[in-house]
Amino acid sequence: MNERTTALVDRLRAAARQMVREFQAIDGSGIVPGISLSECHFLMELDARGVSTTSQLADVMLLEKSTVSRLASRLSSSGLLESAGASSDRRQRPLRLTEAGHRRVSEIHGKAESQVRRALDFVPDAERESLLSGLERYAKALGYARQSGQFRMRPIRPEDDAAVSRIIIDVMTEFGAVGSGYSIEDEEVRAMSAAYAAPGSAYYVVERDGDILGGGGIGPLANGEPGTCELKKMYFREALRGTGMGLQLLRHCLHSARLLGYRQVYLETLDAMHAARRLYRKLGFTDLEQPMGDTGHFGCNRWMILDLE
């Protein structure tokens, strides 16, 4: 980490601590007197869902289930929560807000909105959109960083072939990319590790707790210009989407392409794969009006290119 990045990290952490202090300074505990920030968070999340269990809320709030159970107990004792069903396991018992709970949530929203409006008075109009955009991007990046610790990215191995083949077939079927003209019919789908052991190729998988959840790689573009490779077979299961691993894997593939001496990366995709195309554009891929090389994938209707130099 260079000095500039270190300074940025220090400033971000200091700003985050200041925000926490400002929230706490309202009345010494939270947004509304007599309720902590964690309790406010609990009530607002339950209000947004209508009915939820403490286990479900713990996942949303990124807290230990025991901590959320204690919050639920205190709020129930205060008359703000009630059971919405029966269960022998308290953590699986559905909860909802009481009338008093709904009134308290309205109070919380009113106080929070007032606080934000007062803060915005000190931000010039011309800077407000950039402020919001920056906060949204930073919050998303924090989530990506937290989730990325759950996953491991590594080169494909022969024992991964069956899982990777199943992912490719399932995801392509999900998007209707089935039959002649799609890469689902490629012979390499059944033996990906052998196919990408060839010179100028590389393929990586992403796993969590030993389960393969996705993968992607690069290889020479068939009958393409020298120095051009193709981004190939990059598909994720639902559990991996929205975690930031797509961006991380794509960057790793592009790094590998540079190390292997390629100057351009070409890819083929579909209209229906909107999220994938946004990801490609994010890293500089631009649209082409016609395909390159001779991949045999005439079912694809979108083509993109990236100059690595």
Q: Domain ranges in the chain?
A: 3-122, 152-307
Residues whose CB is less than 8 angstroms from the CB of residue 283 and which lie 6 or more positions away in sequence, other chains included? 247, 250, 251, 254, 306
127: its two tokens: 């800077």
- The CA distance from 26 to 3, in Å, is 35
Section 203-231 average pLDDT: 95
More confident residue, 248 or 147: 248
For residue 32, the model assigns a pLDDT of 72
Question: What is the end-to-end Cα distance of the chain in Å, rounded?
Answer: 24
* pLDDT > 70 fraction of the chain, expressed in percent and rounded: 95
Tell me how far apart the 2 most distant CA atoms of the chain are, in Å.
Answer: 72
Q: What is the mean pLDDT of the chain?
A: 89
Section 258-268 average pLDDT: 96
Q: Is the pLDDT of residue 87 over 70?
A: no
Section 137-146 average pLDDT: 82
For residue 91, the model assigns a pLDDT of 65
Q: Is the pLDDT of residue 111 over 90?
A: no
For residue 5, the model assigns a pLDDT of 84
For residue 31, the model assigns a pLDDT of 67
Residue 173 confidence class, pLDDT cut points 50, 70, 90: very high
Q: Is the pLDDT of residue 194 over 60?
A: yes
Q: Is the pLDDT of residue 269 over 90?
A: yes
Rounded to 10 degrees, the C-alpha dihedral 114/115/116/117 comes to 50
Section 159-175 average pLDDT: 95
For residue 1, the model assigns a pLDDT of 66
Specify the CATH number of the domain 3-122: 1.10.10.10
- The CA distance from 234 to 260, in Å, is 19
Q: Is the pLDDT of residue 209 over 60?
A: yes
Q: Which H, E and C letters describe the chain, residue by residue?
A: CCHHHHHHHHHHHHHHHHHHHHHHCCCCCCCCCCCCHHHHHHHHHHHHHCCECHHHHHHHHCCCHHHHHHHHHHHHHCCCEEECCCCCCHHHCCEEECHHHHHHHHHHHHHHHHHHHHHHCCCCHHHHHHHHHHHHHHHHHHHHHHHHCCCEEEECCHHHHHHHHHHHHHHHHHCCCCCCCCHHHCHHHHCHHHHCCCCCCEEEEEEECCEEEEEEEEEECCCCCCCEEEEEEEEECHHHCCCCHHHHHHHHHHHHHHHCCCCEEEEEECCCCHHHHHHHHHCCCEEECCCCCCCCCCCCCEEEEEECC
For residue 81, the model assigns a pLDDT of 93
More confident residue, 116 or 102: 102
- The CA distance from 219 to 14, in Å, is 45
Q: Is the pLDDT of residue 183 over 80?
A: yes
For the stretch 33-73, pLDDT in tens is 778 888 888 999 999 999 999 989 988 888 888 899 999 99
Specify the CATH number of the domain 152-307: 3.40.630.30
Residue 88 confidence class, pLDDT cut points 50, 70, 90: low
More confident residue, 267 or 5: 267
Section 189-207 average pLDDT: 95
For residue 180, the model assigns a pLDDT of 85
Residue 182 confidence class, pLDDT cut points 50, 70, 90: confident
